């Protein structure tokens, strides 16, 4: 698992990465782990970008209070009928 993560994140020595890439090409189980790790890393990057985009959006603006929206007590008068 750590080898797959190092491979996906490109933290390996190029010679070691080439040897592992050859292994992954022939070993279906290891190849599957690498693909899952790659998908996870990509998902985390996408989530990080989305959070960064959300930080640039305007902050939450609360809705008007019901009495401001419905007028001074109109809804209360409607329920008292």
- Which tens digit of pLDDT belongs to each residue from 37-77? 999 999 998 888 887 776 666 666 555 555 555 555 555 55
- Which tens digit of pLDDT belongs to each residue from 1-48? 789 999 999 999 999 999 999 999 999 999 999 999 999 999 998 888
CB 31 within 8 A of CB 7: no
Alpha carbon dihedral 8, 14, 16, 17, in 10-degree steps, equals 30
């Amino acid at each position: 698992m750590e080898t797959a993560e190092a491979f996906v994140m490109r933290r390996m020595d190029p010679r070691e990465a080439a040897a592992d890439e050859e292994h992954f090409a022939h070993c279906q189980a290891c190849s599957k782990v690498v693909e899952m790790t790659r998908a996870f890393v990509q998902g985390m990057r996408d989530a990080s970008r989305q959070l960064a985009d959300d930080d640039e959006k305007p902050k939450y603006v609360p809705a008007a209070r019901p009495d401001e929206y419905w007028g001074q007590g109109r809804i209360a008068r409607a329920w008292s009928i």
